[in-house]
């Protein structure tokens, strides 16, 4: 019955206008990754606790320091100090258990195991404190000016914070790493010695609550008292071929952070897509020539130029602004850049098309004479007059010599 109620709620929630969409999360940022543009935001730059979203950084830094994923790690009890008292989630690692770095990466990220997180940090850096220094150095390298870490797990601390927008920046960077991307998009993983199987906390919750999630390719959940329910995820709109990235924090209970994600994604899937401003082969500019049998040269759009919108394109708002040569001189070399066409929509520059000559424009004497016939006739008359004067002068000189 509970699952049915959630399904009904989800259906009703996804058909409302985006401005009326009441999200439970207090901090939200949604990116269209095709354009790397923010399409929805709520308190995106406000400092917030991020709970286990911290492990995005922990995992990325670990990957950058691991030289062999199959290298063995021996688990020690001192790796778990304080985790039980902090009520941190664990996957059940035991003293003297032998695992690999690969096992720890998946145990840390998929199941958000604090024991796996501590184990990998101490094994790589010698101490959690040293590993945290690496994390803060990475944050500085990425110019995350409002992000600071004091632990690898994401436990509440007033000096451990970020913003949803900086977490999004971090996640975009992390997804450039193939190993991280592989882990991020994995649903379940079994340790190399078959001792433990871990599953994505996000997909487990979504499945248990009968929430749709197939379009969400990967996710990381988080929860602490200060951070509330958190979620970082990517989703693919297959119909419109758009990739999205969403980060939320401070939802008050589970699965409201997942409902926020599902409803935001569904809204944008159903209402936004790329509409063509200019289609491949459309005429973008026609330029006249000078002194050539080819009167003009037409230039065409080399590709579709589109705009991400929630409505059809208003043709009146599409402007093709040409800047460059206004005439093509004869014998201009093929490959010459004549100018550019700025494609604008609603006064916003969308894309620039280079106007490059790809056809020969040969000089024509006949066209030259035809275009300049008045000047040609005047010149011819002056030339004939000059010739007449010269000939007459020569004759006079000859006649004068005969008299002498």
Q: Confidence class of residue 14 from pLDDT cuts 50, 70 and 90? A: very low
Helix or strand run (H / E) with residue 236: strand 228-237
pLDDT at 303: 96
pLDDT in tens, 187-225: 999 999 999 999 999 999 999 989 889 999 999 999 999
Token pair 């929805």 is found at 40
pLDDT at 6: 42
Distance CA(245)–CA(183), nearest Å, equals 16
Q: Write the CA distances from 388 to 17, 391, 395, integer angstroms.
A: 89, 5, 11
Distance CA(133)–CA(170), nearest Å, equals 16
> Are 9 and 15 a contacting pair, CB within 8 Å?
no
pLDDT at 400: 67
Average pLDDT over residues 150-171: 98
Residue, of 34 and 382, whose pLDDT is higher: 34
Q: Give the DSSP letter string of 136-196.
A: HHHHHHTT-TT-B-S-SS----TT-BB-HHHHHHHHHHHTTSHHHHHHHT-SEEE-TTSS-
Q: How many residues does the chain have?
A: 404
CA of residue 79 relative to chain centroid, distance: 38
Least confident of 3-17, 199-213, 328-342, 366-380: 3-17
> Are 172 and 57 a contacting pair, CB within 8 Å?
no
> Are 168 and 231 a contacting pair, CB within 8 Å?
no
Helix or strand run (H / E) with residue 205: helix 201-208
Q: Which two tokens stand for residue 87?
A: 């009520």
> Are 152 and 121 a contacting pair, CB within 8 Å?
yes
Helix or strand run (H / E) with residue 341: strand 337-345
What percentage of the chain carries pLDDT values higher than 70?
Answer: 90
> Are 10 and 21 a contacting pair, CB within 8 Å?
no
Indicate if the pLDDT at residue 369 is higher than 90: no
Of 75, 79, 63, the C-alpha closest to 99 is 75
Q: Confidence class of residue 375 from pLDDT cuts 50, 70 and 90? A: low
> Are 343 and 315 a contacting pair, CB within 8 Å?
no
Give the Cβ contact number of residue 212 at 10 Å: 13
């Amino acid at each position: 019955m509970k699952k049915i109620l959630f399904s009904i709620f989800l259906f009703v929630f996804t058909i409302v206008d985006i401005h009326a969409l009441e999200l439970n999360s207090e901090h939200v940022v949604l990116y269209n990754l095709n354009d790397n543009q923010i399409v929805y935001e709520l308190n995106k730059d406000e400092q917030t606790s991020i709970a286990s979203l911290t492990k995005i950084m922990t995992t990325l830094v670990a990957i950058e320091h691991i030289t062999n994923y199959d290298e063995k790690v021996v688990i020690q009890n001192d790796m778990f100090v304080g985790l039980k008292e902090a009520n941190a989630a664990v996957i059940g690692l035991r003293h003297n258990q032998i695992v690999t770095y690969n096992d720890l990466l998946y145990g840390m990220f998929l199941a958000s195991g604090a024991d796996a997180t501590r184990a990998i940090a101490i094994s790589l850096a010698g101490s959690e404190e040293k590993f945290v220094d690496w994390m803060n150095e990475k944050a500085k390298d990425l110019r995350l000016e409002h992000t600071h870490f004091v632990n690898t797990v994401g436990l509440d601390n007033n000096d451990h914070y970020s913003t949803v927008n900086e977490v999004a920046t971090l996640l975009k960077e992390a997804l450039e790493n193939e190993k991280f991307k592989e882990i991020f998009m994995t649903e379940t993983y079994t340790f190399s010695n078959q001792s433990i199987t871990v599953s994505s906390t996000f997909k487990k919750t979504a499945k248990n609550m009968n929430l749709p999630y197939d379009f969400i390719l990967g996710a990381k959940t988080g929860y602490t008292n200060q951070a509330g329910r958190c979620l970082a995820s990517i989703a693919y709109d297959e119909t419109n071929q758009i990739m999205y990235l969403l980060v939320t924090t401070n939802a008050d209970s589970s699965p409201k952070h997942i409902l926020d994600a599902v409803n935001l994604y569904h809204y944008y899937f159903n209402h936004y897509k790329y509409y063509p401003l200019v289609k491949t082969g459309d005429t973008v500019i026609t330029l006249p020539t000078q002194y050539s049998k080819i009167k003009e040269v037409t230039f065409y759009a080399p590709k579709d130029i589109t705009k991400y919108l929630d409505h059809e394109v208003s043709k009146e708002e599409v402007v093709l602004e040409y800047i460059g040569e206004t005439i093509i001189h004869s014998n201009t070399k093929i490959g010459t850049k004549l100018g550019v066409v700025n494609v604008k929509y609603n006064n916003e520059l969308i894309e620039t098309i280079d106007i490059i000559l790809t056809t020969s424009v040969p000089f024509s004497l006949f066209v030259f004479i035809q275009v300049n016939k008045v000047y040609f006739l005047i010149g011819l008359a002056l030339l004939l007059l000059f010739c007449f004067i010269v000939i007459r002068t020569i004759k006079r000189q000859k006649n004068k010599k005969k008299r002498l």
